[in-house]
Amino acid sequence: MNTIQVIDIVTLIIALAVAIIGHEIMHGLVAYKYGDPTAKDQKRLSINPIVHIDPIGTILVPAMLHFSGAGFLFGWAKPVPINERIVMHNGGYNGVIAVSLAGIAFNFTLALIAVLALQFMSSPDSIMSYFFTKLLWYTVIYNVVLGVFNLYPIPPLDGAHAISHFFSKMGIHAVAEFYNKISQYGMILLMIIIATPLSVIIFQPIQSILAALLP
């Protein structure tokens, strides 16, 4: 394994870890803004990656996708604990929707910052410049992947939570009831999508966005 390959792997791991861990921390930070100290009390607002690692989502799934040559990586960190009753009490439905979408907002913001930073990067002419260019490149890719993927209305993804709370706010509680019924099957559905040709359909919007951001 040469130096370039090592840098590729290291920057990939860093970018993916920041994307998924930052995503979860933002849920906790916004919940804390609405008076919910659960994540803070359990030390889940820490940037220490150890407290956020999910053996399956942070290690096994990304590794399987990488070594299987899937062409994309996806993963998740251990969900940050949220007390929705406290958030609802202090912020109403708008508060719980904001908590649901906080991670997605983080991913899109970080992706845009990385895109802008890449505009100021010249062609890599050293190991160090290659490292930072590759890190920014992967930062765009994995934050777009996580941001868009989490918008899909499939439990337990953030999009499902946001839509459920939005319709409850509108007085249409049947949607929330539907999601409550299928939530136990959500992870199975996600794994089927990721591991089968259905992933092509799901990831097509992501590829289009990345083609526009990283021509």
pLDDT at residue 72, as a whole number: 63
pLDDT at residue 168, as a whole number: 93
15: tokens are 């970018």
Positive or negative CA dihedral for 13, 20, 115, 193? positive
- Nearest-angstrom CA–CA distance, 65 and 16: 13
pLDDT at residue 24, as a whole number: 94
pLDDT at residue 69, as a whole number: 66
- Nearest-angstrom CA–CA distance, 52 and 193: 24
- In contact, 96 and 84? CB cutoff 8 Å: yes
Active site residues: 24
Domain ranges, residue 114? 3-213
pLDDT at residue 39, as a whole number: 96
- In contact, 171 and 96? CB cutoff 8 Å: no
Q: How far is CA 78 from the centre of its chain?
A: 11
pLDDT at residue 70, as a whole number: 63
3-state SS assignment for residue 110: helix
pLDDT at residue 75, as a whole number: 75
- How many structural domains comprise the chain? 1
pLDDT at residue 192, as a whole number: 81
In this prediction, the residues of the chain whose per-residue pLDDT falls under 50 are none
pLDDT at residue 114, as a whole number: 97
- In contact, 190 and 74? CB cutoff 8 Å: no
- Nearest-angstrom CA–CA distance, 107 and 103: 6
